[in-house]
Amino acid sequence: MKKIISVLLFVLFWISPIKASEPQPYVLLISLDGFRWDYAERGITPNLDKIKQEGVSALSFKPSFPSVTFPNHLSIITGMYPQNHGLILNFFENLYGERYRLSDTNAVKNPAWYWGEAFWETARRNKIITASYYWPGSEVWDENRRPNYYKAYNHNEPHENKINGIIEWLKLPYNERPHFITLYFHDTDSEGHKHGTNSPQIDSTIAVLDSLIGVIRQRIELIGMKDSVNIIILSDHGMSNIREDGIINIKEIIGEIDCDVNSSSAITMIKPKNEKDIELVFNKLKKAEQNYKVYYKKDVPAYWNFSRNPYIYPIVVIADVGYKLIYGKSTYNAVAEHGYDSHHIDMHGIFFAVGSKFKKNYRVGTLENVDIYPLLCEIFKIDGRSNIDGNINRIKYLLK
């Protein structure tokens, strides 16, 4: 018996160091801003087509509501809906009148705005080195809450620099090398807003980004890491053209009642300065309700998960797809927009993944973006936060 026990102990001790030294996987997470689901179905994306054969692809990738950039990049990286991770819009105000704005570097770097735990924080706690060539929330002051390596955002950074940057990271000595890297391209969002979803400009941008995916895969192969780097390519939201008669001026409907207003094309939040005016403003908007929906904050439908955050104003107006809300004069003249109902197919993005962890030639339906955080935890075999909205069981089937 003693002999058996000692043999068992020997086997256990012998097994455990092998398990501990199992190589960490690599994941490169690429976001193509505003890359609508059907852009990959236009016959101009041979590199994404190749990934369909070699890896996993989804029919569409559903954003969280509202379908705008910062909230959704945070939903992807934290596994939480915007109302829970704190970034409810690209710009908003907290209860103390402090503003979060994309263009305000101080606000963007202030960790107090970010309530969720980003995957790079989870990874760092688990001794995984991380890096980011851009991602909303990756530049916070608190070193423990950002990736080990990160870049200050530059909208005009050449594509080539970004690709060189991630290859350099992958060539670092093993004990300095990041295993989780994010990469971001804004191009399809910018061109989509400017020229619309059916323009020759958007098609050529789609083709350029697709060719960059090809270059990235080729460069990774050249450094001998093709089999070890898993690549996930996704987008934060889709895009929809604005009808020519689709402008709705909310100020004209409300009139001269003094209100704090947070106005973007798809969503306008309204807080009358005098609380007594809330019902009056709501009733005016309800009476004129056409091509938009108006809700009291508490009544925003549960399927949008947009009523529980303290920074959401008492009245929420959401435009129908194809319409655009303005408040007073507007000089912003985009021809296509996003931010609308996240269930509408025009707001859906793409999801592709390829690498040793993923099934091959596996096509699935619609995936939800809050499920990426638990998927990353599963790939790296680490425990993630439990207070998330994502669910590993909705996405685990993508893995081998």
Judged by CB under 5 A, does residue 33 bind Zn ion? yes
Nearer to Zn ion, 33 or 337 (CB): 33
User: Could you give the count of Cα atoms lying within 13 Å of 285 in the half-sphere of its Cβ?
Assistant: 28
CB atoms within 10 A of CB 310: 10
Cα distances (angstroms) measured from residue 128 to each of 148, 197, 361: 9, 39, 29
Distance CA 45, CA 163 (A): 19
Question: How many amino acids of this chain bind Zn ion (CB under 5 A)?
Answer: 5
C-beta separation of 135 from 73 below 8 A:
yes
Q: Tell me which stretch binds Zn ion (CB under 5 A): 34-42, 170-178, 211-219, 320-328.
A: 34-42
Which residues, numbered 162-191, are part of the site for Zn ion (CB under 5 A)?
189
Nearer to Zn ion, 179 or 237 (CB): 237
Nearer to Zn ion, 69 or 262 (CB): 69
Q: Tell me which stretch binds Zn ion (CB under 5 A): 144-152, 190-198, 235-243, 329-337.
A: 235-243
Nearer to Zn ion, 167 or 334 (CB): 334
Nearer to Zn ion, 212 or 285 (CB): 212
Distance CA 316, CA 339 (A): 13
Judged by CB under 5 A, does residue 337 bind Zn ion? no
Pairing of strands 267-272, 259-263: antiparallel
Which residues, numbered 68-87, are part of the site for Zn ion (CB under 5 A)?
69
User: Could you give the count of Cα atoms lying within 13 Å of 200 in the half-sphere of its Cβ?
Assistant: 0
Judged by CB under 5 A, does residue 277 bind Zn ion? no
Smallest distance from Zn ion to CB 349, Å: 9
Smallest distance from Zn ion to CB 309, Å: 20
Nearer to Zn ion, 34 or 137 (CB): 34
Smallest distance from Zn ion to CB 264, Å: 12
Smallest distance from Zn ion to CB 41, Å: 20
Residue nearest to Zn ion (CB): 69
Two tokens, residue 92: 């908003």
Smallest distance from Zn ion to CB 35, Å: 9
Distance CA 158, CA 163 (A): 9
Judged by CB under 5 A, does residue 236 bind Zn ion? yes
Distance CA 320, CA 267 (A): 10
Q: Tell me which stretch binds Zn ion (CB under 5 A): 214-222, 230-238, 282-290, 321-329.
A: 230-238
C-beta separation of 223 from 169 below 8 A:
no
Nearer to Zn ion, 210 or 337 (CB): 337
Dihedral of CA 36/37/38/40: which sign?
positive
> Of 30, 77, 23, whose CA–CA distance to 374 is shortest?
77
Distance CA 61, CA 350 (A): 5
Interface residues with Zn ion (CB under 5 A) are 33-34, 69, 189, 236
